[in-house]
Amino acid sequence: MVPKPLSAALLASAAVAASAAGGSRPHVVMILVDDWGWNNVGYHRPGDPEVVTPSIDALVKDGIELDRHYTYHYCSPSRSTLQSGRLSVHVAYGFDDPMLVSKTDHMSGFSGIPRNMTGIAAKMKSAGYRTHMTGKWDAGMATWDHTPMGRGYETFFGYFHHAEDYWTQRLSDSDWKPDVCGNLVDLWNTTGPARDRNGTAYVEEMFTENTMGILDRHDPKEPLFLFHSFHLMHTPLQIPEAWEQKFSFLTNPYRRKYAAMTSYMDNVMGQIVAKLKAKGMWENTLLVASSDNGGPTYNLPVLGPGAASNTPLKGGKMSDWEGGVRVNAFVSGGAVPAAKRGTKLQDYLHMADWYATFCALAGVDVADARAAKAGLPPVDGMDQSELLVGSGVPGSGRRAEIHHSARALLSGRWKLIAGGMTPVEMHFNETLTKGDAFVPYSDYLNGYDVPEQALRNLTDCGAGCLYDVIADPLEKQDMAKEHPDVVAKMMARLHELNKGLFLPDRGTPDKAGCARWEGFYGPFVGGGEPDYAASVELFI
């Protein structure tokens, strides 16, 4: 596809990318890790045998550590943010069942990204990039428009839901409560269910094989946009026995499995980099890696044991504390200028910014005219390409404010959390004080400084809590009483921002989708897939 004529500003951005990548637009490889704890990586926890991540540590050493990279506080909203370039509050931030269908809103009345928002893969494809995805989607599936294929990915091998069993790929075999369909398989291969694959191997083994195949077949002369989205280290905590045995010194079974899953993830990331190098693509690649949210430190009957550690950050997944929204992230590859390698960047970045940054690297307009015509929220992401691969210096980042959620706002050095505890935090409190039938919380973490950390996690901010996250990144000191003027100003700003919350009628679960693919999950409203299958140049 021939790219459209570019504006002067876009040409300048493209020139930055081309210069950094040695004269051509860089290959872009986005790697997303699921439920990755801040303290579950070697560069944050050196020398600890529980954390074995040599591939990642080497990539950070030769890249840029993004020390203040933020996401939403749980997975599906962050994934919708990544693909759409909108803050989660402007695209999807509910814990939505992928089977939702509204009877009144046929554009936004589903789980995930509204149909008329343009995905980042479609943007990259319009610039001549080959676009491929492997792994967890979790950004909508009701219609073909909602799927990775409908968002611009040429191929997709993965699953649509929040989580699944790693061995059977069935939703109800995991520790998640089955949805209206019950015991269906969630595994898809571009044009239809992967009927010959489910139950044949550990799902991450299949995902690795798929990504390796994409790289094997790719022509390095064509720019590549590859999205590898791990199921690891999301529950259910499942890992091949040989990997778990490497961590037999850990007596707690949940921490042992989580440590093994982290090591497995690191190994796969190393394989992807090795393949890029073998193909001669690494020196012209920007690799971006991030967690989708903070590590889960809860233990709930439905969600299961998270087993992550975000020490020394406060809180974890499902909370707006730094441990829930500030995540492990870095960039690496030959597209990173030599002078920036081995550095740690303190500028604020958000998951939404990758959309605008990738558009700049590809030389395409970030604006979403189709969404604007439909009256949908515009792209929030900010182009950070100058900061990462251009001449931008630390401190010149474009983001100073993050609307974390309906109750949390980051502005400059100040972070405001307003309102009481979330339902998950309240259940977390009951687990801490009374114990849980699943496993007592103290036994579950077994060595993560439970009493002090857990009690700090449970601060009730009904009147508003204020933290200086630059001077106090661990959120130990509530400064609300000392700075009532700042609280009042930020409360007013949060109230104003919340007027723009995106709240369409998402509908109710539709059992019609249970029979559409005869035992598998997949798009079930309308059609479209035959036209897609007939017209696209498949790369499988």
pLDDT of residue 379: 98
pLDDT of residue 422: 59
Biggest CA-to-CA distance, the chain:
65
Cβ contact 85:351 at 8 Å: no
Its pTM stands at 0.91
**Tokens matching residue 121:** 């893969």
pLDDT single digits (tens) 78-114: 999 999 999 999 999 988 889 999 999 999 999 999 9
Residuewise pLDDT in 10s, the chain (540 residues):
333 333 444 444 444 444 444 447 999 999 999 999 999 999 999 999 999 999 999 999 999 999 999 999 999 999 999 999 999 999 999 888 899 999 999 999 999 999 999 999 999 999 999 999 999 999 999 999 999 999 999 999 999 999 999 999 999 776 656 688 988 999 999 999 999 999 999 999 999 999 999 999 999 999 999 999 999 999 999 999 999 999 999 999 999 999 999 999 999 999 999 999 999 999 999 999 999 999 998 776 666 678 999 999 998 998 999 999 999 999 999 999 999 999 999 999 999 999 999 999 999 999 999 999 999 999 999 999 999 999 999 999 999 999 999 999 999 999 999 986 655 555 554 444 443 333 333 333 444 433 344 444 456 788 899 999 999 999 999 999 999 999 999 999 999 999 999 999 999 999 989 999 999 999 999 864 544 443 333 333
Cβ contact 198:187 at 8 Å: yes
**CA–CA dist 134, 141 (Å, integer):** 15
pLDDT single digits (tens) 39-48: 999 999 999 9
> Cα 114 to chain center, whole Å?
18
**Tokens matching residue 74:** 């749980």
Q: Phi, psi (5° rounding) for residue 459? A: -55, 130
pLDDT of residue 421: 60
pLDDT of residue 404: 97
Distances from the Cα of 490 to the Cαs of 104, 225, 422, 483, in angstroms? 35, 38, 20, 11
Cβ contact 211:226 at 8 Å: yes
**CA–CA dist 513, 100 (Å, integer):** 10
Helix (H, G, I), strand (E, B) or coil at 63: coil
Looking at this protein, which amino acid is placed at residue 98? P
CATH annotation of 8-406+421-459+501-534? 3.40.720.10
- Which DSSP letter does residue 521 get? -
Question: What string of DSSP letters covers 211-229?
Answer: HHHHHHH--TTS-EEEEEE
